[in-house]
Structure 1
Amino acid sequence: MTKHIKKTTQLRNMINSRELEFIMEAHNGMSSRIVEEAGFKGIWASGLSISAALGVRDNNEASWTQVLDVVEFMNDAVNIPILLDGDTGYGNFNNMRRLVKKLNQRQVAGVCIEDKLFPKTNSFIRGESQPLADIEEFAGKIKAAKDTQEDEDFVVVARLEAFIAGWGLSEALSRAEAYHKAGADAILCHSKKSTPQDIEQFMKVWGNRCPVIIVPTKYYSVPTDYFRELGVSLVIWANHNIRTSVQAMKETTSVIFREQSLINVEQKIVSVSEIFRLQNEDELEEAEKKYLPGNNKSIGAVILAASQGNLGELTKDTPKTLLKVHGKSLLDSQIDAFNQVGIKDVTVVRGFGKQKITGNYRTADNDQHASTKELFSLNIARDMIKGDMVFSFGDIMFKNYILNDLLNDPNDITLIVDADCERTGDRKDFVRTDEPYAKKHYTGAARLLEMSEKLSAQSLTGEFIGLWKTSPAGSEIIRKALEELSKSSDFSSMLLAHLFNHITKSHPVSVRFIKGSWLHVDSIVDLQKAGSMA
């Protein structure tokens, strides 16, 4: 729906459409946005779901003003119309008038009320024992609602509970006719049977005197095309988002409680950046640029990806950083991880096969990659090292939580170090810190004393994984150190260890420990492990 069409008009067009239309349940602003992004043209603000989200029963335990507050947030979050499940209207005709007035003020598109007594009980709980409202009294509520609405397209739906209460077709038809004459824009015919029998009987006799809405929660196995054949106008998927979220929350919470860790759930749930996206964080960022100039904190990144690698035929013509794991290159996986935490200003230092390394990022080229080491590549990107920065090797993989923790570290220069390393294999950036790994050091309390591939097994406390970050002050320290070291005759053969060892002479370098959850892809075996890790 286009934004310039009123939400009330959108909903009215849907219930009067010649095509079968659908609306989906939501219970807060975020679930409303998810419904809209899925493609639905309207939202059902379910009384059951809203009360459940508030932690109370669907028995009018949440006041109508509390429900209205929730619906206002929902309506503000989307451009599609909302039909509120207004229970019984929260009282008599006067309460109904007050409700409609407030819904109109908040530009909510419509309300559905059911012909039961206040306070109501959910239709699927002892439905046959629930008394129905007097027909004339309920018709008076509908007339009061229509007389009160200020927007001529505002929709009032009358919900029939005759089948739920076991009163049968005759009573349902009598009530539907009375409510239609009172001004109801549509009739919601409700049933708790597992077959469409009640709906079939009603539709055949009703004869399309006004639009009919159904809620197939109990008769969900009936093909949707059958509702089209019956002439139903609108289908409400009434409570499936709240039920889905409850199941997902129970599973995630149980795992976290049992394992006292987030490791096995983090990759199964949406990223924090996805929550920010659904909250429309980008709009606020743009507004801050407009209204608060100079108040923006951006983070840059440099990825060192100049090496060819030594994986036989796999890297004969392809840079190691472009090796794919589950269809995505190591480089693209890193950039995706950076993008998810808001790092968009990425510089990739290319070298071997540089013409193949292209994408939505800045590049800097080390054309001497065959005869130089990583510090030489970093120096090529020296002018890009400004403000808050993250740096990484282009041939590593790591779990997202490591990057999130690194960005939250307050120190000027912080290295990620794996405390679970072994003194075996090819050259490694071993480190020695002022104290060995301990839980208290997970926050980055340890300090680097030395980095070297030659540290003994007795003296080393971990392995630098090739991921680190700097604050604005730390970036200046890095730039200054690079400038000083670049004057050395052996600069082309220097490693990052030379840089960090040089810096520790005058400034502390912090270490943030991890235990596993990363991989340096330097062999065929590593590439196979990467597949399992991804």
Structure 2
Amino acid sequence: MKKTTKLKELITSNSLEFIMEAHNGLTAKIVEEAGFKGIWGSGLSISASLGVRDNNEASWTQVLDTLEFMSDATTIPILLDGDTGYGNFNNARRLVKKLESRQIAGVCIEDKLFPKTNSFISGDTQPLADIEEFCGKIKAMKDSQSDDDFVVVSRVEAFIAGWGLEEALRRAEAYRLAGADAILMHSKRKDSTEIEAFLKEWSNRLPVVLVPTKYYTVPTDRFRELGASLIIWANHSLRASIKAVQDTTKQIYEDVSLINVEKEVAPLDEVFRLQGAGELKVAEKRYLPATGTNVNVVILAASQGEMEGLTEEIPKTLLEVGGKTLLLTQIHEFNKVGIKKISVVRGFAKDKVTSTNFSVIDNDLFAETKELYSLYLAKEELKENTIISYGDIIFKNYILNDLLNDMSDITLIVDADVENTAAKDKDYVITNIPYSKKLYSSTVQFVKMSGDLNGKEAHGEFIGLWRVNKSGAEVVKNALMELSNRKDFKQLTMADLFNHISTTHPIGVKYIKGSWLDIDTIRDLKKAGDLFDQH
């Protein structure tokens, strides 16, 4: 339901309704959370919160800026205390347009002269507006509204200015005929004599709004009996906050400490909750590019590797490229995107695979197992956002950014640049969509991985780099547990894992074209040095 419709229903309800003052986005949200069905955008409170007098010293555009924050923070309607409409009929009708654009449900204008003076300050010396001029202002506002449910309340200041019941009734009737949706009858008496006299004579010709700031001792049921439509609690959020701030500030000043006030004020977590910090955190995960701050990495580097004598005493992951080991080259790339939580599954010559930059997991069966077994040993490291990498590859940094920003539960990096390759025993992949430069809006999914394929049959080669999100991590861990029951589990490969998962859960594929190397030969080491120099 539109906010305007909600306010109109409040004012025309057969029962007495209530709205509460607010003067900024925070207090507006508090009013809604308390259970109120509407908000009074108090001119007194808004101006006071800005540190100025309630004499139109705050410009109407400054009031609008405040209202916009209030409206954005809430779902209930706001009725603005619009003073005199901030000028003549032309200013007032422009105000209506601006209020509607900010989803403000209605405005109350008072029949005094611009600039206004607060009703409780020397009210009997405040001249009232000419009735005809004020009626013209009401008509201009009603003619200007584009939403039929937008509410214009006419505030009668006859009692405030020292006039009697007859003048109050005369003005209220004129404003009704001019098109007002409701009458706000104001009084500064400490009893309800004037208000009761008006309500009895008025006989519900239009809904009546009351502001019992001065006559607060009158039981609310009395207004219900007399047929009032809406009561405004007009300035107590402001006044409560002034008292609390004064007391707290004085206490801190005198104590030169926070020890006596910390338990008396709202905790910071409550401030963050009211600000909507939780929603922002969820939105950041959905819309912001992923960063390494919430990402961890598992590097599978247990194998010895066969590199023509170079790996007799060290595992392949410790071979050097450009003066730095393959392992540290990888870690450097992860660090560049903010990833610092890194686990390395080591095996051959494990005592040489040590560093303060990563934690280790030992695969003491490295000689008789494949990468899948190493991943099984590291399965508890598969968390909310985990990258898994072979320990003998290097890659350019942009590939990590592509991987981090993919939305699939499980994402594999596949090199599409294999059309002229006929080599066997590589992790060749078939997908649902071959690589194309027009793939940017398409979702590519894994279909099959096999070392029995070749580059001419496949759509690409899995480079040994992939990622899981929280859901994907659970899928992979469940699959590892299922496969671990097989007798040949220690000899299973990543291809077996992905083929197993793909029967029940989709696996996403991100294509690349080169920009990586799998180090299998001395020649690969030379190429890796060239690639490293280009970083």
TM-score by length of 2: 0.55
CA distance in 2, matches of 1:386, 1:195: 71
| 1:99 corresponds to 2:81 | no
CA distance in 2, matches of 1:97, 1:130: 24
Query: Cα gap change, 1:297/1:177 in structure 2, threshold over 3 Å: closer, same or farther?
Result: farther
Residue type at the aligned position of 1:236: I
CA distance in 2, matches of 1:293, 1:40: 39
Long gaps (5+) in structure 1: 300-382, 388-534
> Residue 244 of structure 2 aligns with which residue?
248
Q: Deviations over 1:76-129 (max 9, x none)?
A: 100000000000000000000110010111111000000000000000000000
> Residue 411 of structure 1 aligns with which residue?
none
Residue type at the aligned position of 1:257: Y
Deviation at 1:292, TM superposition (A): 2.0
Query: Cα gap change, 1:295/1:241 in structure 2, threshold over 3 Å: closer, same or farther?
Result: farther
Residue type at the aligned position of 2:32: E
Deviation at 1:294, TM superposition (A): 3.3
Residue type at the aligned position of 2:26: M
- Which runs of structure 2 are paired with 1:1-400 in the superposition (5 Å)? 5-295=1-291
* Corresponding residue SS for 1:210: coil
Native 8 Å contact 1:289 1:296 kept in 2? no
Query: Cα gap change, 1:136/1:291 in structure 2, threshold over 3 Å: closer, same or farther?
Result: same
* Corresponding residue SS for 1:96: helix
Q: Deviations over 1:15-53 (max 9, x none)?
A: 000010000000000000000000000000000000000
Q: Deviations over 1:218-255 (max 9, x none)?
A: 00011111110000000000000000000000000001
CA distance in 2, matches of 1:192, 1:173: 17
Deviation at 1:297, TM superposition (A): 5.6
Native 8 Å contact 1:15 1:233 kept in 2? yes
Q: Rg: which structure is higher?
A: 2
Query: Cα gap change, 1:199/1:295 in structure 2, threshold over 3 Å: closer, same or farther?
Result: farther
* Corresponding residue SS for 1:275: helix
> Residue 494 of structure 2 aligns with which residue?
none
CA distance in 1, matches of 2:37, 2:380: 46
Q: Deviations over 1:174-212 (max 9, x none)?
A: 000000000000000000000000110000000100100
Native 8 Å contact 1:142 1:179 kept in 2? yes
- Which runs of structure 2 are paired with 1:421-500 in the superposition (5 Å)? none
CA distance in 2, matches of 1:156, 1:225: 26
Residue type at the aligned position of 1:46: S
> Residue 422 of structure 1 aligns with which residue?
none
> Residue 405 of structure 1 aligns with which residue?
none
* Corresponding residue SS for 1:200: helix
Native 8 Å contact 1:88 1:113 kept in 2? yes
Residue type at the aligned position of 2:24: N
* Corresponding residue SS for 2:103: coil
* Corresponding residue SS for 1:241: helix
* Corresponding residue SS for 1:226: helix
* Corresponding residue SS for 2:18: strand
Deviation at 1:386, TM superposition (A): 12
* Corresponding residue SS for 2:19: strand
- Which runs of structure 2 are paired with 1:403-414 in the superposition (5 Å)? none
Choose 247-256 or 260-269, whichever is displaced more. 260-269
CA distance in 2, matches of 1:45, 1:30: 13
Deviation at 1:161, TM superposition (A): 0.2
> Residue 337 of structure 1 aligns with which residue?
none
Q: Deviations over 1:132-182 (max 9, x none)?
A: 000000011000000000100000000000000010100000000000000
Deviation at 1:260, TM superposition (A): 1.2
Choose 261-270 or 246-255, whichever is displaced more. 261-270
Q: Deviations over 1:398-425 (max 9, x none)?
A: xxxxxxxxxxxxxxxxxxxxxxxxxxxx
Residue type at the aligned position of 1:271: P
Residue type at the aligned position of 1:36: E
CA distance in 1, matches of 2:86, 2:137: 11
Native 8 Å contact 1:288 1:296 kept in 2? no
Give the length in aligned residue pairs: 300
Query: Cα gap change, 1:267/1:206 in structure 2, threshold over 3 Å: closer, same or farther?
Result: same
CA distance in 2, matches of 1:57, 1:129: 18
CA distance in 2, matches of 1:264, 1:199: 45
Long gaps (5+) in structure 2: 296-378, 384-535
Native 8 Å contact 1:169 1:202 kept in 2? yes
* Corresponding residue SS for 2:162: coil
State the identity as a percent: 69
CA distance in 2, matches of 1:166, 1:238: 22
Choose 253-262 or 119-128, whichever is displaced more. 253-262
